Structures are given as C-alpha cells and as structure tokens.
Chains A and B, each alone.
Chain A
Amino acid sequence: MTTLTREEQPEVIDLDRVTIRFAGDSGDGMQITGTQFTRTSAVFGNDISTVPDIPAEIRAPQGSLPGVSAFQVSFSSYDIFTPGDVPDALVAMNPAALKVHLADLPKGGILVCNTDEFNESNLKKAGYTSNPLDDGSLSAYRVFPVPIGTMNSRALKDVDLTAPLKDRSKNMFALGLMFWMYSRPLETTIKFNEQYYGRRNPVVAEANIKSLKAGYNYGETTEVFAQHYHVPKAKLPAGLYRNITGNEATAMGFLTASKLADRPLYYGSYPITPASDILHALAAFKRFGVKTFQAEDEIAAIGTAIGASFGGLLGMTGTSGPGIALKSEAIGLAVSVELPLVIIDVQRSGPSTGIPTKTEQGDLLQCMFGRNSAAPVAIVAPATSSDCFYMAIEAWRIAIKYRTPVIFLSDLYLGVGSEPWLIPNYGDLEKMDANFATDPETFKRYARDPETLAPPWAIPGTPGLEHRVGGLEKQNITGNVNYEAENHDLMTKLRAEKIERIANDIPDLEVFGDEGGGELLVLGWGSTYGVNRTAVQRSRTAGLSVSQAHLRYLNPFPKNLGDVLSRFKKVLIPENNLGQLQLLVRGRYLVDAVGLHRVTGRPFTISEVEVKIREMLG
C-alpha cells in the first residue's frame, strides 16, 4: 500500500496539524485504534502527541455514558507539545460516545458516526430522545454516517469466525477509513496484526487486516467523502526516534540509572492506577537484574524499598496520590536515616479515591510537606513524556549523591500520554558512583561531606562498619540515639540545609522568550509544559510580551528562580490544582503571582491559557 499523493488524488488537501479523537464503548477497542494511528503517523515522520481517556468504571454497561473510552492523537508537520485542545475529527462508534465527546468538536468539525449502533436502545442509554443523525441537531458539523458494523461484517463474510468475533474487528474498519482520510499507509498496522495475533490467532489477524483494508477502500471508492488530507513530515532534530509513553520512559529511565550507578534496581510497589504500568514494565526487566516486589500494601512497598536501599541497592517505590498518603511515615523514616530512595507519584484526581483515571496536579504540597515535623525531600517533576526518562536518571543522581529520598512527581497525563523520543546512546550518559563507606577507621554514620552535607552510605556486609540506624533522633556525627535539645535543633537544620544545597547542583531555570524580562512570565511545572509553551508561542506571534519558564526541580527550586521572577512585571502560574506552586512561589519570593486553576481531570486547553494571558496583558 502506498501513500496517496497529491498528483494521483487531486482532492487531497495539505494540513500542517490534525487532531483526531476515536470514541466508543470500552469494548470497542478505541485504545488500540488510537495507538495504531499514532504508530503509523510516527513512523510516517510526523511529530505526534497523544492522550487516552479511559472510563473510570471498569465494567460500565455496554453503550452507557460511563462506559465510553476515547483516544486522542495529534500529528503535525512541526514540533508539537500537546495532543491538541479540540479534535478536528471525531469518530463516534455509538450514541454514548457522541453524547460524551460532541461538546469538544468545534463547529464545522468532521464527525464520523457508526450508524449501526444508533438504534433505539442505544439512543435511550445515551439519553437521546430522538436520533441526532436524523433530527438536524448535528447540522453544524460535517457528518459522515457510515454503517461500520454492517460494512465490516460484509467484508468478513468468508472469514471463519463467529459473528460477535467478527464484530470486534470493526474498530479496524474505522481505523482504515481514517487512514484513508488522512493519507496514512497501512503497513505498520498490518505488521502489528501479523506479529501480535499472527501465531496465536491467525484468523483474528486475517479478520483485522481485511477490515482495515475494507475501511480504507470504503473511503477510496464511495463518494461519501469529498476530500481527504495530507500532513507532511515534521522537521525534528536528526536521529533515531521511537514513540514512548511517560510510564515507559520512566521505567527505562530508572533502569538506566541503575546501570549508570552499577547497582541493581529494586522496586517495591502495590498495584494502583495509574502507576501500575511502571511495575509491569520493571517486572519485565528481570534480565537486567531488576528485582520487583509486589507488596501487600503501600506501606510495605516503601518498607521493602528502604530495606533494599539499606542493603545498597537502588530501592524505589511507586504509587499515586492516595499511596503517597500511606507512605508518609516511611518517607519520614528515610529522611531520618538519610538513605537514597526514590518515590514515584503518578498523580491522579483526588481527594481520596477521586477519579482514578483522570489527571491532576494535586500532590505537590503533599510531597513537599506531607510528613510529621520537618522532613524535607528533594522533588523533581518531568515536563513531558520523554522527559520522564531524563528526570528518572536525575532523581537517582540526587538521591545517591545526597543520601536522600527523592520524589519523582509525574501525573496520569504524562504517564499515559506519548510523544516521539530521540533515542539516546547509553554510552553518552553520565555514570554515577554509589561511593559506599568501607573504612572502619574513619566511619561515622552522621559525619557529613562538607560540600553536600551527605552522610556516608554504609551497607551490611562491610566488615567493621556495624552500626544501628533508626527513626529515633541521632547524635550528630556518631549516630547514637540522642534526645538533647541542641543536637535536635542542629540535626533538623542540617537535614534541611542538605536539601537546600542540591540547588548548587541543578541547572538554572531557562526562559523561553525574553531572557531579559518583560511584561508577563508563565511559570509552570509538570505536564502543563506543552500547553504553556504553545499558548506562549501563539501569544508571542500575536505580538504580546510574554515568556515561559518551566520548573523541573520543585525542591529545591533552581537558584535563579527568584531572579527570573524579578525580571517580569507579572507572573501567571497555570496549575491543575487550586494554586499549590503559586502558594510556594508567593511565600518564598514575595511575588504576587496570579494563578489559573482548573481541576477537570483533563489537561488545560491551550486556549484557556491563551485567554488568561490576553486578559492579564489586556
């Protein structure tokens, strides 16, 4: 199959960016459909960005509103930072999918509906009193009604499968249709089906491939669609690329850190959405010597990690917000015993169980302060899905060098979202040194490195260094249990000072836009990077004096943050919470930072930030 070119098909229209949303019942295979579209576009050479939208209820009834699952992919001929605010095209596999997602489709947008599912019972389940395909309510959109189920079963009439199994391939029909509409080749998906189902279930592979081709041919041969579109390749930096989700990048980053430090990785974790993917990924790395431990609860998970770190491995645990709450006491213990430890928090909506499959940035203050007494830890926050790889390595560099717990603050949107990743060479990455204590003559458990204030890492098995650690306050230098007033004051300050000194060891905050300062700085952290960048870029193009800075180190902050803030007349901090970084920045730098707060379970849209920028520069 070759890509259709402009010469062959005069009705092809060139676009530089397209965003498509596939929506259907959770049984309709929308995630696979979206992923396949993504792979194809990535291999084709577009820049891509994706985000899945998975129902919160695992077994919501078929055809119901809570059962709708969606996947959005944006692909372009230039650098993109977000999976797009609003889709240009929506594929709705049933009425419920239409009901949930139509509000996001701009007027004039392309709407492909699977007419087979628009029957009375499904319409009722979705809360429609009349069929929107007939009642004129969709007249503002470019609607393409396609009997996807019927067409699909016709295409598969010679395949040896039961009717319900054949029906499962209908997502491939829809995918094929969209491939035609956006001039994508079919090879990647054909190859995927052959490899994935080929051996185990060749009939399914055959059905999927037939459906895919049928969908494509339907687009080509029917006259339903007057036009189709072409998005040329993006100009990315040269090199070898692959598509990567944040959680994949996180797992690989931590594995890489362990190799760079030449210490085995140990991951204690309790299953929790959306962090479990990291446990799965690391559990598959046994050939690299990674030890994973599925613990009985969140507390045990971090306990085993602390035990492993005590033993000289790179002990890690990972969870989401509610799990961090359970781990608080143990994080405090790790602060007290000053052992290297990394804690992953893939944030999700809260409080309590909240909405486990939706994103949020609500845990910053919990990670900063959520422990008894003064128990400071370092916090790093990746800005994009592929940045998870580098910040994972950073987390371990800091943890090892400063003998401290480090929180790796990711979120659901970063974790499940994907983007192209310029593949690094392992040999180009900087090595780390665990630097264990070995000399009984000089060993003192709380004697500190004069520069970093880090105490030694002395592991069992080292002759002559037998010693006891624990959560009781310890005497400075010797590490004996000590309750004296002045010693406690000193130790509390030393622990805090040690974390502060990490600021000497991290890169300065960079400004995108006007280095020297200007009217407005948009400051962010974590997954708002792409939205902020795009909003700032567009506003600058419109002539506004606005710049962007993005924090990847949240504790301590980069040393020049105060200086950067002082160069701008106004500061805007968009966050998917009620103003947590805003509180820290205002408190620390006495800057009248303005917040933009949305807690919808979804990332900001670019226009939300743009509108705020315009309002502030009004």
Chain B
Amino acid sequence: MVTIDRNGSDNIQVLSRKDFVSDQEVRWCPGCGDYSILAQTQRVMPDLGIPRENIVFISGIGCSSRLPYYMNTYGFHSIHGRAPTIASGLKTARPELSVWVITGDGDALSIGGNHILHVIRRNVDLQIVLHNNEIYGLTKGQYSPTSPLSKVTYSSPMGSIDWPLRPLAVALGAEATFVARSLDIDPHHMVDMLGRAHEHRGASFVEIYQNCNIYNDGAFEEFTAKDVRADRMLFLKHGEPMIFGKAEDKGIRLNGLKPEVVELGKDGVTVKDILIHDETIEDPTIAFMLSRMDYPEYPVPVGVIRAVQRPTYNDLMDQQLAKAVETQGEGNLDELFRQGDTWQVEEE
C-alpha cells in the first residue's frame, strides 16, 4: 500500500497491515471476536493515507479496550467509560490527528453513557468503534446494558430485569451524523465500514456485533450464521432498495409509519414498492426505524445507516480562534495586564 503524507510532501511510504501490528502479545481468549476486529482495523489503516504517527487509538476499560496495545500507532488505554473525553480533548487540541475510540457495550453505554451522548452530539471528528458482545467479559460474565431481558448471567441468576439499550438508536438520539453496523465474522464488510467511518467528517459511530465465546457464545448466531445470514440480515446499500434473502426475494416496505417485510412477486409486490436506502436524509426517522429493526420480526440491518454533513466541533473551535485573532488582533500579554483602571505609584 502507498500512503502519501497529508502535508503534501512526496515522502511516499509503503505501509502494509504488518506495519500496524505492535510487538505486544495479544491476550484475548482464543476464538474471541475481537481478533477479527483487530485484524480488520490493522488492515484498513494503510488505506487511510495517513502517516502512522498521526493515528491514535484511545480506549476505556474492558476486553475490547485492550485493542490499542496491539496497534503500532499512538495509543491510550484510559479509564472505564472515559475514552470519548480523552479523545475529544486530543482531537480538539490536535485536529490533524486521526483519532479512534475503541469501546464496548458496558464501557460506552453504562459507565460512559454520558460521554458517548456528548461526543456524538458535539460531532467531534473521530471514529467510535463499539464492540457489542452484550455481556461484561473482563469482569467474567455479568449482564450488560445491551443484554436482552431475561438474560441469565452470574449477576442475574433468575434472568436480567433490565430493558436493553439499542446502541444505534442511542447514537441517533444523540444527533449522530454517521451511524453504521457491522459484524465480526464478515471481514470485508467491516473493513468497508471502518473505511467509511474514517472518511466521514464528524463523529462516526460503528457498532460491531462481537462474539464473546466464553461468556456469551452465540449471542448473534441466530441471524449471523453463514447459512441463514442472507435471510435474516439486511445489508444496506446507499441508493438501493432494501432487498434481502438468499434469492433476493424479500424486501422492506413502509406501511404508514411501520416497516413490513414483503415478498417480491407475491400479492403484486414489485421492487418499486421497496424502500430505497438513503444514508443522506437529514430527517432521522427512517434511520431510527432501521436502528430498531431486530430478528425475528425483521432482518437485522447492517451497513451505513446514516451519513449526513454537519460542521465538526473541532472545525468550529478553530474557526472561532481564527475569528478572534481576525477581529481583535493577536493577543498581547503586556496589553492584557494593563487593561482597565491602572495607576502609577512613584518612587518616594
């Protein structure tokens, strides 16, 4: 792969996936979905066209949050739930850096719920990758804020009585400009989503279904298993009708405000009746609808659900600083010290 220095120099470096592998031993459980996310993250890096020293991975606490240690970039493994705050500080301080937040369902939506809302609404230009395994793995198997109701875990022997959050719906509720979903066992799709997230200017939110084979094995298998995936998942493509199924014979039609699954060719349904996916609609209603579609009632949507443009927080901050200099002139400390009423005390 060839990367060209963003500063426009012709300092052309050839980087490959290997250049992004750190010298640290990877310590996840064998078979964990995090391995695939790590591999795809390393794979997508050379394509971004950014010098390695300008890339920073920031995480909180949890299994997923170990990821920065394994990336041969700058990295910060911080404290539980707070990665978005450190990332926001870094990105606004140094807007030229490519900043990635690695988080999990507990880290992002439980202890760090407040920060996730605010980093998204501010539209700080960074990528948030949420490994959703619907369980607390590092602390050995307690239900998480995305675990389904009635989930039996060590901390919920009679079943969880917490109603779960839907990460994409939370992001949309926080006025997200970019929302996507992918899955650990589809490397190509994931590489595509990570690339799109990077391309987007603003806070990009990507949920990745990640299997925790130790504490929550098979949580997504019902619809992600290879043999049923085509029938139970909806791979969204911008500008194309929402069609799914091995035979591409099913689609989503809007019935009033409610989506419904219809069969093409049955009851006179044609492709014209099928909803066309448009990532760029300002109104988040359809995106919100997609974020709530779940198996078995619906196929589970993956892909870019929403990608709209809004000024980024870091750009606005820089503009204000530039404007202040333009209108007030560059600050002069000696003048500042002497502002207001001053008086001279003479030598006796």
Contact = CB atoms under 8 A, between A and B. Distances in A.
Q: Do A and B bind each other?
A: yes
A293 B88 contact: yes
A164 interface: no
Interface stretch (B188-196, B219-227, B245-253, B316-324): B316-324
Given A238-B347, A300-B115, A461 B93 contact: no
A241 B86 contact: no
B89 A287 contact: no
5 contacts: A287-B321, A310-B89, A313-B93, A426-B333, A469-B76
A468 B338 contact: no
Nearest to A235: B348
Given A238-B346, A287-B330, A307-B86, 11 more contacts: A43-B341, A241-B342, A285-B331, A287-B325, A288-B331, A295-B85, A307-B85, A307-B91, A466-B73, A467-B75, A470-B78
B154 interface: no
Interface in A253-269: 255-256, 259, 264, 266, 268
Interface of B: 22, 24, 51-56, 58, 68-69, 71-79, 82, 84-94, 96-97, 114-115, 117-118, 317, 320-321, 323-325, 328-331, 333-334, 336-348
Contacts of B321: 286-287, 289, 291
B119 to A, nearest CB: 9
A237 B344 CA distance: 10
Nearest to A242: B342
A466 B72 contact: yes
B79 A329 contact: yes
A398 interface: no
B114 A296 contact: yes
For the residues of A in contact with B, the DSSP-based class is mixed
Given A308-B93, A481-B69, A465 B53 contact: yes
Interface in A294-317: 295-297, 299-308, 310-313, 315
Contacts of A264: 93
Q: Chain A, interface size: which category?
A: 35 or more
A286 B320 contact: yes
A240 B78 contact: no
Given A289-B321, A462-B53, A297 B114 contact: yes
Interface in A11-59: 39, 42-43, 45
A342 to B, nearest CB: 14
B330 A306 contact: no
B345 A236 contact: yes
B78 A303 contact: yes
Contacts of B76: 307, 310, 337, 468-470
A512 to B, nearest CB: 22
Contacts of A255: 333, 336
B19 to A, nearest CB: 10
Contacts of B338: 240, 242, 423
A295 B85 CA distance: 8
Contact of B74 (A235, A242, A268, A467): A467
Contacts of B55: 460
A333 interface: yes
A304 B88 contact: yes
A403 to B, nearest CB: 15
Contact of B54 (A236, A337, A461, A468): A461
B155 to A, nearest CB: 22
Nearest to B326: A287
A311 B333 contact: no
A541 interface: no
